[in-house]
Amino acid sequence: MIDWSKFDHYTQRAVMTKEGITVVDVTSEVLALRTNDDGQDCLTKAVALALKGVAIDKSVEVDHWDAKHAMEMRRDYGFAWCTPLLMKNVEIAPGVDGHFSHLDRYDPTAAPIGAIMVPPF
């Protein structure tokens, strides 16, 4: 069982694995992306890490959003998980209805393996 009260949004990441939600430490290579102001270089390095199997949160590592704030916004919009770099993006946000039957619906209870989990607040 994960003790979310001790979870650090800046140095840890919760990822869905075959075994369930696993908390991993964000490596120094990933942390370095957050201060890389060369957009193309940052993206190139992020893709290289993602190809090695590292769960890269593009909003945080490449677009330089604040890690905790990004997760708070996702939680506020109804996300229980989000896609890492190189995984197919969510096509319809949680709770959006309408004429989108041709798109995959977001299911907060069915995070794919490799998804970045949105911790509870």
Q: What is the pLDDT of residues 12-52, one digit of tens each?
A: 999 999 999 999 999 999 999 999 999 999 999 999 999 99
pTM: 0.93
Does 102 have pLDDT greater than 90?
no
CA geometry: angle 89, 35, 87, nearest 5 deg: 15
Burial of 89-110, coded b for 16+ CB within 10 Å and e otherwise, reads ebeeeeeeeeeeeeeeebeeee
Maximal CA-CA distance, the chain: 44
Q: What is the DSSP letter of 116?
A: E
3-class DSSP state for residue 103?
coil
pLDDT band at 101 (very low <50, low <70, confident <90, very high): confident
Selection from 90, 88, 85, 120 nearest residue 107 by Cα: 90
Does 108 have pLDDT greater than 80?
yes
**What is the rounded average pLDDT of the residues 84-88?**
96
Q: What is the pLDDT of residues 44-75, one digit of tens each?
A: 999 999 999 999 999 999 999 999 999 999 99
